[in-house]
Chains A and B, each alone.
Chain A
């Protein structure tokens, strides 16, 4: 793309401008739907609807499907049993979308005004510009974003009250001060898209800056082994938690795990080890690169894990002392609400945020110079395609749209707070793809086609 240094900025500006126009023009449907865009989980309509929400701060009104995909199951087969209109709450009734992140009795309360925060995306898997955009949006919404396992760029320090420090098995970029800065420390045991496999940053992405941050050698592939070599039991896990709490006694501790058959036991163990948040990452979650066999076949989708965990924690009598955050295929405001109805307190967003910033879900993140849209790349030129302020604005508007939809859902269910929705599977209805919702709209099929 870039040829001569002198023209570099003009070239970047030219493409940036054209991209921004594209993000605006495609959702108008003047060109129809891009024929090669989308898949069952993220159909073209959902991608364009997310672009539109990131621009306008509102859900689409031109028929673009913005609630569900076409995967034929899970969130895409669930809908809400809304009350008859006369029983729904009116617009004037305030609806609370905040959730607590610390439910441990007697401990410092921490709340976020929306039931989601940003998931870990490391420096190296995404650019510093993307990390910054996410941190700025998190600050504006008084929620959080996570460093992922790649270190803590200097530019994030001003946002540190909204930045979760992730500690994963490679310990890349983990320093005493990054633990001390963090309001929440996240131990990543596993990742939904590649459960049990650890992480791998390809040599091409381990640029000089990335390697410096990770205290490694430039252009050499980096592995995050699996599992934590110091953790072979819940007791070992507790030692981990004790360690970070010694360095930073104020921090909340989140434990990110995948969804094995015994996820309920894992959750209970994590609670007794001292975790405040159990972050469950379902099998269909995002990744910068993962073996295809792992994405589809190992560990269960989040929709099926949540009820199991929620019920088990209830039976154990500890459900109200721990926070469950769900991720791994949570794409829309409707998905967030459904995840909460299935038993989560809130959700962690990753891919959705990238889509808001222009991701087309093409799956080329690991190829060559990385993402051609400047998202999952550390290429010094491509990464300039995303201005952090522009990105933060897009994320903010997406959040605004999601919050508005969440309030609308809650009003239509007659609930005044998102906390009342937790575990309310009785408010859900299972619909086969192609069925109509209560407004007569076909599930998984907007009117755009």
Chain B
């Protein structure tokens, strides 16, 4: 991870930080600046190491296999006669996945192996029926649906991109993220080498101060202190868990995973202090109630998030931690323009875990915030982080297209660690989330796997669009399509399409 201003870096500064990791950075004109050390950049290709991390808690099987045993015995007897005792023929079963394998075959089906192909029931409807397992339907909640849980667990288990046969199976579109498609390009790729392993697409993003221009004195030296910027290698960081579940081990897992992924983790400042979570990847979050913990912070974080934006507190923060980037953590429907005019340069816009804030969905709120800053000519100077309702890999590029620089992940992380929701997991203050007995190495690997899978999926989306870096995706509404707009255009002359559609 690099701390430096991209405008001020030495000669290699324009290189892709995805490809180049500066163990040391030099800042032109600021020989005395805190972050300046020796010069030699070293090359290291960014990757997240994946490893299988099987579920700790066994999931209920996806399907229930109900066999009518007496009919099965009848079938076997019938076949005994028909095939005159030719055992290989008689014992050959329809399931190619071993559900009816030895020792007792269909009399005790191995449900955990069933993939729901339905071949058995197609062949023998009176003997076997396959049912979706209702226990599986109870995973997640009304927003983070059971199918999402399945996908997240697969990603956390394997680190792979979910790939399946057959086409898309779900609703045509829908509210929220489902009503948005990303663009592709028929003939353009970032490079000619194809996506599979050789293509350099940067997923790095910058968080911090981004002044529109530099000011030089008469000697040609830049004036003022260098802007503070953090580059993280993926456009997602980790938010802290809900109040109901903040054990030390969980926060340690989040912090270590964030460190290894080279991103950031938000942690309430009191827990930072109590659990001794120091590190350049840790972002203490300070609320009014926890302000008193700030003096006990014995190290200098690269970023400190303040719940709300209060000029006196910000001034105090900057006095105590001059090297830290202050971040305003505010509800997503806040007046961002006002905050920016007050001096905020990094904003973490929050919504509830279902993506709602003040009656609006995050997708619309992000667009609104981004648009206000664009219109005011201030967007380039500000970093927008957003959280709430971003629970699937595809939500990341969609949120960035709507205007975020980076997203902060929440419930998807808990699911990756096999948390269970007792009811609706919506309000971070009251969400009833419980975790299994966590094993640190396992937990870190699960989060790394999830991050690797999401990053690879982001690469797929960027590659399809022909974009070489995720920074260029921000606010690129021209590279997406909204269902409502496309339908208005396509169905304008179709009778009945209108207000109620």
**A contacts, CB < 8 Å to B:** 1-4, 6-7, 10-11, 14-15, 18-19, 21-23, 25-26, 30-31, 34-37, 39-42, 71-74, 76-78, 81, 189-190, 193, 195-198, 200, 223, 225-229, 231-233, 236-237, 257-258, 260-261, 266, 283-301, 303-304, 306-308, 328-329, 342, 351, 358-369, 371-373, 376, 382, 425-426, 428-432
Assess A39 versus B163: contact at CB under 8 Å? Given A229-B192, A362-B116: no
A-side contacts of B129, CB under 8 Å: 31, 34-35
Q: A366 to B162: give the CA distance in the assembly, Å.
A: 12
Is B464 an interface residue when CB atoms closer than 8 A count as contact?
Answer: yes
CA distance A365 to B124 in the complex (A): 22
Closest to A75 in B: B172
With A35-B132, A36-B132, A226-B194 as known contacts, state yes or no: A295 contacts B122, CB within 8 Å: no
Q: How far is the CA of A300 from the CA of B183 in the complex (A)?
A: 8
- Given contacts A15-B94, A196-B184, A31 and B164 within 8 Å (CB-CB): no
Beta-carbon contact of B495 and A286 below 8 Å: no
Whole-angstrom distance from the CB of A125 to the nearest CB of chain B? 9
CA distance A329 to B172 in the complex (A): 10
User: Given the complex of chains A and B, what is the CA–CA distance between A236 and B186 in angstroms?
Assistant: 13
- In the bound assembly, the distance between CA atoms of A291 and B88 in angstroms comes to 38
Chain B CB within 10 Å, residue with most, of A22, A303, A365: A22
B162 close to A7 (CB less than 8 A): no
Determine the distance from Cα of A289 to Cα of B171 in the docked complex, in whole angstroms.
Answer: 19
Could you tell me if A367 and B115 are in contact, using CB atoms closer than 8 angstroms?
Answer: yes
CB contacts under 8 Å to A, within B184-203, are 184-189, 192-196
Q: Is the CB of B167 within 8 A of A287?
A: yes
Name the distance in Å between A107's Cβ and chain B's nearest Cβ: 25
B173 cross-chain contacts in A, Cβ below 8 A: 72-73, 301
CB of A372 within 8 A of CB of B117, answer yes
* B189 adjacent to A226 (CB under 8 Å): yes
Cα distance, A149 to B399, chains bound together (Å): 35
Given A15-B92, A15-B94, the answer on whether A74 and B172 have CB atoms closer than 8 Å is: yes
B163 contacts A14, C-beta separation under 8 Å: no
| Contact A36–B63 (Cβ < 8 Å) | yes
Residues of chain B within 8 A (CB-CB) of A2 are: 88, 92
In chain A, what residue has the closest Cβ to B65?
A36
Closest residue of A by beta carbon distance from B129: A35
Segment of B14-22, B220-228, B340-348, B481-489 in the binding face: B481-489
Known A-B contacts: A290-B164, A298-B182. Give 12 more (CB < 8 A): A14-B89, A193-B168, A195-B464, A260-B186, A292-B162, A295-B167, A297-B394, A298-B461, A362-B166, A363-B165, A430-B501, A432-B501
B154 to chain A, nearest CB (A): 10
Contact yes or no, B490 A11, CB < 8 A? no
Residues of A near B501 (CB, < 8 A) are: 77, 430, 432
Among B172, B393, B483, B491, which residue has the most Cβ atoms of chain A within 10 A?
A: B172
Indicate whether B478 reaches chain A with its CB closer than 8 angstroms. Answer: yes
A298 in contact with B94 given A41-B167, A226-B195, A304-B487 (CB within 8 Å): no
Known A-B contacts A196-B464, A307-B489, A308-B490; the reply to A1 vs B96 at CB < 8 A is yes
When C-beta atoms are compared, the residue in chain A nearest to B180 turns out to be: A297
Which 5 pairs across A and B sit closest by C-beta, in order of nearness?
A365-B165, A196-B464, A73-B172, A225-B194, A22-B122
Is B103 in the interface zone, CB < 8 Å from A? no
- 8 Å CB contact of A361 from B169, B479, B491: B169
CB-based nearest B residue for A7: B88
Quick one: which of B457-474 are within 8 Å of A by CB? Answer: 457, 460-461, 463-466
Residues from chain A with a CB closer than 8 A to the CB of B151 are: 292
B91 close to A (CB within 8 Å):
yes
**Whole-angstrom distance between the alpha carbons of A396 and B42 in the complex?**
64
| Neighbouring A residues of B457 by C-beta, 8 Å | 291, 293
Give me 21 A-to-B residue pairs in the complex whose CB atoms sit less than 8 angstroms apart, sorted by A's number. A15-B123, A18-B124, A30-B125, A35-B132, A72-B173, A72-B174, A189-B186, A193-B167, A195-B464, A198-B195, A227-B187, A260-B184, A286-B167, A289-B163, A289-B164, A290-B164, A298-B183, A298-B460, A299-B182, A360-B119, A360-B122
B497 within 8 A of A: yes
B274 within 8 Å of A by Cβ? no
A293–B161 touching, CB < 8 Å: yes
Chain B: number of interface residues, binned into ranges: 35 or more
Assembled-state Cα–Cα distance A10/B92 (Å): 10
B452 to A: closest C-beta gap in Å = 14
Pairwise interchain contact A293-B162, C-beta atoms closer than 8 A: yes
Q: How far is the CA of A372 from the CA of B487 in the complex (A)?
A: 38
Contact A23 B122 (CB under 8 A): yes
Question: Complex formed: what's the CA distance from A21 to B94 in Å?
Answer: 14
A24 to chain B, nearest CB (A): 10
Q: What CA separation (Å) do A318 and B496 show in the bound complex?
A: 30
Given contacts A35-B130, A195-B464, contact A287 B125 (CB under 8 A): no
Q: Is B316 an interface residue (CB 8 A)?
A: no
Contacts of A258 in B (CB 8 A): 184, 186
- Chain A residues lying within 8 Å of B187, measured Cβ to Cβ, are 189, 227-228, 231-233, 236-237
Q: Which residue of A lies closest to B172 (CB)?
A: A73
Cβ–Cβ contact A11 & B169, under 8 A: no
Instruction: Check if A3 sits within 8 Å of B91, measured CB to CB.
Output: yes
Report if B500 contacts A (CB, 8 A): yes
Contacts of B171 in A (CB 8 A): 40, 71-73
Contacts of A382 on B, CB cut-off 8 Å?
96
B106-124, CB under 8 A of A: which get 1 and which 0? 0000000001111101111
A78 to B393, CA, bound (A): 31
Q: How far is the CB of B182 from chain A (nearest CB, A)?
A: 5
Does B83 lie at the interface of the complex (its beta carbon under 8 Å from any beta carbon of A)?
A: yes
Whether A308 pairs with B489 at a CB distance below 8 angstroms is: yes
- Most A-side CB within 10 Å, residue of B123, B183, B184: B184
Q: How far is the CA of A226 from the CA of B196 in the complex (A)?
A: 10
Contact A3 B88 (CB under 8 A): yes
Q: Are A287 and B166 in contact (CB under 8 A)?
A: yes
Output the least CB separation between B170 and chain A (Å).
6
The CA of A78 and the CA of B117, in the complex, are separated in Å by: 31
Residue B493 lies at the interface, judged by CB distance under 8 Å to chain A? yes
* CB neighbours of B88 from chain A (8 A): 2-4, 6-7, 11
Q: Is the CB of B165 within 8 A of A289?
A: yes
B184 touches A1 (CB 8 A): no
> Measured between C-beta atoms, what is the minimum distance from A97 to chain B in Å?
23
Name the distance in Å between A349's Cβ and chain B's nearest Cβ: 13
- Is A291 in contact with B163, judged by CB distance below 8 angstroms? yes
Q: Is the CB of B123 within 8 A of A19?
A: yes
With a CB–CB cut-off of 8 A, which chain B residues contact A291? 161-163, 457, 460
Chain B's closest residue to A428 (CB) is B494
Cross-chain contact A227 with B188 (CB below 8 angstroms): yes
In the complex, the answer to whether B166 meets A195 with C-beta atoms within 8 Å is no
Q: Contacts of B478 on A, CB cut-off 8 Å?
A: 261
Q: Let me know if A368 and B96 touch, CB within 8 A.
A: yes
> Which residues of chain B come closer than 8 Å to A11, judged between CB atoms?
88-89, 92
Instruction: Please determine whether A366 and B183 come into contact, CB atoms closer than 8 angstroms.
Output: no
B97 at the interface (CB under 8 A from A): yes
Q: In the assembly, what is the distance between CA of A301 and CA of B132, in Å? A: 28
> Which among B63, B79, B166, B461 has the greatest number of chain A C-beta atoms within 10 A?
B166
Do B493 and A426 touch across chains, with their CB atoms under 8 A apart?
Answer: yes
Assembled-state Cα–Cα distance A359/B187 (Å): 33
**Interface assignment of B181: CB less than 8 Å from any CB of chain A:** yes
For A23, list chain B residues within 8 Å (CB): 122
Contact bitstring B370-386, A, C-beta under 8 A = 1, else 0: 00000000000000000
Residues of A close to B393: CB separation below 8 A: 293
Of B63, B162, B188, B460, chain A has the most CB atoms within 10 Å of the CB of B460
Complex CA gap A233/B185 in Å reads 11
Give the distance in Å from the alpha carbon of A22 to the alpha carbon of B118 in the complex.
11
Instruction: Assess whether B184 is in contact with A351, with CB atoms less than 8 Å apart.
Output: no
The answer to whether B168 touches A41 (Cβ under 8 A) is yes
Query: Among the interface residues B91, B95, B173, B483, which one has the most CB atoms of the partner chain A within 10 A?
Result: B173
Asked whether B335 is an interface residue with its Cβ less than 8 Å from the other chain, the reply is no
Contacts of B491 in A (CB 8 A): 307, 425, 428, 430
Please indicate the chain B residues that have their CB under 8 angstroms from the CB of A362 in the complex. Answer: 115-118, 166
- Residue contact A372 to B167, C-beta cutoff 8 Å: no
